[in-house]
Amino acid sequence: MKKLIVASLLFFASQFTFAQYDWSKLSEEYLEMYNIAERVSEQTDKIGVDEETGVTFHGANTSITFERKLDLRAAKEHYKYTLVKSGGVRIPLDKINTEKVLKRFKSAIDKVNDDLKVNRGAQVDDILSNLFSN
């Protein structure tokens, strides 16, 4: 019986450590997305970036923010993630939903970034063709 209790304690302790690793991995991925969003936000008004409010997508009539705040109650560095809609609706995210939102925001930022590259390339080509056509 003691072996079963010890084995179960070790199992649960390993699961807790794995969960902490996953959250730290999410934090790293959020920082990567944040850095890309910061660069893209300098070129378009569709994306806003702020250290306190997080990454925001601005639509025609709405905005959606993916927010990350330090959890002051946690002993180690841990962040809480929240999805905020333009009406002030705040949705706290668990690990699974944080992963979904992070993946969706990252793909949307990458798409906007790719669109900007294509548009800039076309603009440069247009300027150069006009410059040398005279």
Nearest to 59 by CA among 50, 68, 72, 46: 46
Q: Say if 8 falls within a structural domain.
A: no
Q: Say if 74 falls within a structural domain.
A: yes
Q: Say if 15 falls within a structural domain.
A: no
Could you list the beta-strand ranges (E) of 1-134.
Answer: 47-50, 54-58, 63-70, 79-85, 90-93
| Average pLDDT by stretches of 10, the chain with 134 residues | 58 48 80 92 89 88 90 80 91 92 93 86 76 66
Q: Say if 32 falls within a structural domain.
A: no
Summarised one tens digit per residue, pLDDT across range 26-63 is 889 999 999 999 999 998 888 999 988 899 998 888 89
Question: Model-level pTM greater than 0.75?
Answer: no
The residue segments making up the domain with residue 85 are 41-128
User: What is the total count of domains within the chain?
Assistant: 1
Task: Give pLDDT, residue 19.
Answer: 46
- Total length of the chain: 134
